[in-house]
Structure 1
Amino acid sequence: MGSIQATVVDACTRDGRGGSPTTVVIDDATLTDDERHAIASTAGTSHTAFVDTSAADAPAVRFFTTKGELTNCGHGIIAARAVLLHRSGATQHHGHQRTGNRTFAITATRRHDGIEVWFDQGIIALRDCAGAATSGIIAALGLTPNDVIANDLRIASPGTPRLLVPVRHRRTLLAMRPDFARLAAECRRLGYLGCFTYALSPTARTADARMFAPAIGVDEDIANANSAGCLAAHLMDTSRNGGIEVHQGDMLGRPSSVFATATQTRNGIVARIGGVARHQLRHGSRRTT
């Protein structure tokens, strides 16, 4: 028997409220993957971050949902770094984090309404997507071809591909009722993590968005920070405006905000992602066998 330290953090809050509840577990590396999966399945949140602090200069973080391990999780990174800063008692931290085979530069800063975290997402690979190739996904989302801006359909990948789906009108976006079973099958068939649907504001400085990823066990994400970075990269690629604030979670009663900026480099478009995390009251130890 052993105990684990688990904290629930609201990641990517908006104006001090909402955000995506994310479980953060301080992992001493003795847990097996089956135990991590079991913890994630019973945590009561959509994502669980397991933090190995044995390398203090660059802690390793792994992410699990009820379906299994993810290669990355943007709002999970924000939640994990908020917990580490809180535990340290410091007011600010500049450092690195390891996830999978990548190391991210991270900044975390205390503020009155939580802890603000920014991380470098790295290069975003973008490619066009013909509307005909995604007709099944559009239908599974509960949309018609006239609801989307077909010329702006893009496949974006910071490591795992997802489909960016521009919806013409915010009211259409908010009214969406996907067929999750069909959408999961279509995403698996095409190799997508999920679908990031969004409607830009007239200034293209903010966007309302909804992320559907039933193929990985998350029908709808309250916040999807990596997809916000992908959207910033797409905007940089098409309009040279690489800054965006993405609002999600309103339909789930958990308003969230993710900030993303994209920059063109000689190696490709890179993105930086930010959000504010706030600790929930419930936390403590759990027993494992």
Structure 2
Amino acid sequence: MTSEPIPTRRYAEHVFMVNVFSNGPGGGNPAPIVVDAQQLDGEAMRAVAARHGHESAFVMPGRDGCDYQLRFFVPNHEMEMCGHATLGTIWLLDHLGELPQRTVSIATLSGPVQARIDDGQASVSQSRGRSTDVDDPAAVLDVLGLRPSDLLDYPVVNAATSRVKTLVPLRSIETLNGLRPDFARIEALCDAIGSTGLYPFAPVDPDTGAFSARQFPRSSGYPEDAATGIAAAALAWSAWDLGLTSTHRVVIQQGEAMGRPSQITVECDGDRCWLSGHAELIGETPL
């Protein structure tokens, strides 16, 4: 563990906005990041997320042998893990010259992860995915406004590398982009099936590991997410396990239906995978 895991106090009153996973103009998922959050309690962190309207990350001193501890909040509550905010945090620390080494360990509520910088690009590890079939897929289809014929010949599953997402395999990108969910019913549905969000997806080119997806969170304070690293990791493992693709590298496009094109890369590395994508600093405000 590094002897000085938290940046100097000159950043204590700053919120940095890092855009992650952008794949074109207006794309990506912004993450408000506080790189020295030692003086903030949970309610203050949630207030930062609510003010900015995005999943936010807060850097704390390391614990359990890790270099850093990260806490994550959306406007409505704390989260166990957030892939794009973790990636954005490591990229930002490197950008500020505060990252102590190329690979660091991070404690999160969902367990420890590793993050690394390679040629200016950040990557975040996730453990091997796990999945179970959803007992009542008809309820999922109903909330999404789908028919059974819209599905590929694969099951609707709850899948996770950390937070559980419900993967819904669709036959076409047109069906995916045309979805009009009943947002008022998503939270109750997710509670009933033990999920934190619905992640319908469609193959773009299975031979090259290309997929397109959308994320409708259970209860985050906004109806749709432009780029969801944790869901992308779960989708990649399911695609490998179900034989949807044989490539070790999966590329997932998300956000097109929102006008916020995003791209997430997931690479298999034995019993773990690495999330990666573009990151850039787009703003800075007082805390």
Matches of 1:179 and 1:97 in 2, distance apart?
36
Residue in structure 1 matched with residue 40 of structure 2 by the alignment = 31
Corresponding position: 1:278 with 2:280 = yes
Contact 2:12 2:36 (8 Å CA) reproduced: no
Q: Which runs of 5+ in 1 are unaligned?
A: none
Deviation per residue, 1:219-271 (Å, 9 max, x gap): 11100111111111112212244421000111222111100123554xxxx32
Cα 1:9/1:238, change in 2 over 3 Å: same
Deviation per residue, 1:48-77 (Å, 9 max, x gap): 111125679611111100111000001111
How far off its partner does 1:214 sit?
3.7
Deviation per residue, 1:11-64 (Å, 9 max, x gap): 112258621111011233221111111111112x32111112567961111110
Cα 1:242/1:61, change in 2 over 3 Å: same
Contact 2:134 2:193 (8 Å CA) reproduced: no
* Residues 5-20 of structure 1: pairs in structure 2 closer than 5 A: 5-14=14-23, 18-20=27-29
Contact 1:12 1:19 (8 Å CA) reproduced: yes
Matches of 1:217 and 1:26 in 2, distance apart?
23
Cα 1:83/1:241, change in 2 over 3 Å: same
Contact 2:87 2:115 (8 Å CA) reproduced: no
How far off its partner does 1:156 sit?
0.5
Residue in structure 1 matched with residue 240 of structure 2 by the alignment = 236
Matches of 1:191 and 1:33 in 2, distance apart?
24
Cα 1:184/1:28, change in 2 over 3 Å: closer
Look up the SS of the partner of 2:219 in the other structure.
Answer: helix
How far off its partner does 1:145 sit?
1.4
Matches of 1:213 and 1:163 in 2, distance apart?
10
Matches of 2:247 and 2:132 in 1, distance apart?
18
- Select between 95-104 and 135-144 the one with higher mean Cα deviation: 95-104
Cα 1:164/1:54, change in 2 over 3 Å: closer
Matches of 1:102 and 1:54 in 2, distance apart?
13
Cα 1:116/1:159, change in 2 over 3 Å: same
How far off its partner does 1:92 sit?
7.6
Contact 1:40 1:48 (8 Å CA) reproduced: yes
Residue in structure 1 matched with residue 163 of structure 2 by the alignment = 160
Matched pairs, number: 273
TM-score, scaled to structure 2: 0.87
Q: 2:227 aligns with which of 218, 223, 230?
A: 223
AA of the residue aligned to 1:229: A
- Select between 145-154 and 28-37 the one with higher mean Cα deviation: 145-154
Look up the SS of the partner of 1:23 in the other structure.
Answer: strand
Look up the SS of the partner of 1:216 in the other structure.
Answer: coil
AA of the residue aligned to 2:275: I
Q: Which runs of 5+ in 2 are unaligned?
A: 1-10
Q: 1:122 aligns with which of 124, 127, 136?
A: 127
Residue in structure 1 matched with residue 176 of structure 2 by the alignment = 173
Contact 1:126 1:156 (8 Å CA) reproduced: yes
CA-atom RMSD, angstroms?
A: 2.4
Look up the SS of the partner of 1:140 in the other structure.
Answer: helix
Q: 2:147 aligns with which of 130, 144, 149?
A: 144
AA of the residue aligned to 1:12: F
Matches of 1:93 and 1:3 in 2, distance apart?
23
AA of the residue aligned to 1:127: T
AA of the residue aligned to 2:251: E
Contact 2:58 2:71 (8 Å CA) reproduced: yes
* Residues 1-289 of structure 1: pairs in structure 2 closer than 5 A: 4-14=13-23, 18-43=27-52, 45-53=53-61, 58-88=67-97, 93-100=102-109, 102-110=111-119, 115-130=120-135, 133-149=136-152, 151-204=154-207, 205-239=209-243, 240-263=246-269, 265=271, 270-280=272-282, 282-286=283-287
AA of the residue aligned to 1:143: L
Identity of matched residues, % = 25
Cα 1:263/1:72, change in 2 over 3 Å: same
More strand as a share of residues: 1
